[in-house]
Amino acid sequence: MSAKLIDLQHITKIYDGNTVLDDMNLYIRENEFLTLLGPSGCGKTTTLRIIGGFEKPDKGAVLFNGQDITHLPPNKRQLNTVFQKYALFPHMTIAENIAFGLKIKGKTRSYIQDKIKYALKLVNLDGFESRMPDSLSGGQQQRIAIARAIVNEPKLLLLDEPLGALDLKLRQDMQYELIRLKNELGITFIYVTHDQEEALTMSDTIVVMNQGYIQQIGTPEKIYNEPENAFVADFIGDSNILPSLMIRDELVEILGARFACVDKGFGENRPVDVVIRPEDVDLVSPEEGTLQGVVTHLIFKGVHYEMEVTANGFEWLVHSTDMFPVGTKVGIRVDPFDIQIMNKPESEDEEAVAIDA
């Protein structure tokens, strides 16, 4: 397993009396693509700025390869940052933009020329050296901003919502570009976004944040399939979140009906929350279902139908390639492996952190 590159220890940051980060602990490994994901105001950009040296924590330490860099200025750190606004110099050519950092470092002309060619080839923009930034599309400008960052050979690349200003198709293309660059260069990426699909597509590790706290850390598959609380389940994709009762190991009561599950260790007759993804709800004939309901809404989404089914007073969200017209009586069945059990918050404070977006 790769060694730790960045280690955030007990980081606290307060703005105007508001705690933005509260005793945060997080480490990032070498050659990892780690995404900080969460709603506006959750602390993800502040975390990135503290790593980059643009902000100083009120408490705690930032370690880089085991060395304390908490008070080191950005230009002394072995990292580069790519922002949402590309920050290209409009009066400079593409080559001059890419060379800017290398010239400051006093690199030779031949070295700089080699690096410009290498970087442009890497971002698939060979031959753009003499172009001006305003002659490029948004996606091309963003790739130049990335090229300018990688020619400095940073060990760490920080990306603050770099694709936010692009349209959907460009954004998707750039996601694949970033994955390719990360694999080719062996650089550690820390990526900030509020876009769940972006995080799931690109990341090795996702850190879900809310109100200055880390809610869950894990692989995209783990975050999606096994959310640790209602906030994560609700923020990552669509979910049916139901207050339920854990009867005993591998048996849970949902809306008065008993469902087999695979979870253990929650105790007996204990209130829990259950997460069931819309694509994991099977609609069958009423007599085959564990619960019975009626289809109340139907939308065609292209790859599937999105339906709402009212059953025992709850509006179930269902995604299926099979279409059931509005008014159809159906049964609801769920595979035991698709029922995710979560502990209920133990206090109102915990619930506010876990659920309030």
Out of 167, 191, 225, pick the residue that ends a domain.
225
Residues 94, 25 share a domain: yes
**pLDDT value at residue 266:** 94
- Residue type at 88 in one-letter notation: L
| Residue 233 located in a structural domain | no
| Residue 104 located in a structural domain | yes
Give the Cα separation of 345 and 48 in Å (integer): 29
Out of 174, 199, 225, pick the residue that ends a domain.
225
What is this structure's pTM?
A: 0.83
**pLDDT value at residue 53:** 94
| Residue 126 located in a structural domain | yes
Task: Please tell me the number of Cα atoms within 13 Å of 54 on its side-chain side.
Answer: 12
Residues 152, 96 share a domain: yes
Residues 64, 114 share a domain: yes
| Residue 189 located in a structural domain | yes
Task: Please tell me the number of Cα atoms within 13 Å of 58 on its side-chain side.
Answer: 13
Residues 101, 136 share a domain: yes
| Residue 231 located in a structural domain | no
How far CA 46 is from CA of 51, 77, 206, 285, 316, in Å, comes to: 9, 17, 17, 51, 37
**150: domain CATH number?**
3.40.50.300
Residues 66, 213 share a domain: yes
User: Are residues 39 and 231 in contact, defined by beta-carbon separation less than 8 angstroms?
Assistant: no
User: Are residues 225 and 341 in contact, defined by beta-carbon separation less than 8 angstroms?
Assistant: no
Residues 248, 188 share a domain: no
**pLDDT value at residue 9:** 96
| Domain coverage including residue 63 | 4-225
**pLDDT value at residue 352:** 41
If one counts the domains in the chain, the total is 2
| Residue 319 located in a structural domain | yes
Out of 225, 249, 268, pick the residue that ends a domain.
225
Q: How far apart are the first and last CA of the chain?
A: 34
Residues 314, 170 share a domain: no
**pLDDT value at residue 145:** 86
**pLDDT value at residue 237:** 85
Residues 219, 243 share a domain: no
Residues 151, 19 share a domain: yes
**pLDDT value at residue 86:** 66
Residues 282, 210 share a domain: no
Residues 177, 63 share a domain: yes
**pLDDT value at residue 197:** 87
| Residue 232 located in a structural domain | no
Mean pLDDT by runs of 10 across the 357 residues of the chain is 89 93 95 94 94 95 95 90 78 92 87 89 86 87 85 87 76 82 87 90 95 95 91 90 96 97 95 95 97 97 96 97 97 97 68 43
**262: domain CATH number?**
2.40.50.140
| Residue 345 located in a structural domain | yes
Helix axes 138-150, 109-122, angle to 10 degrees: 130
How does DSSP assign 13-37, residue by residue?
A: EEETTEEEEEEEEEEEETT-EEEEE
Residues 292, 150 share a domain: no
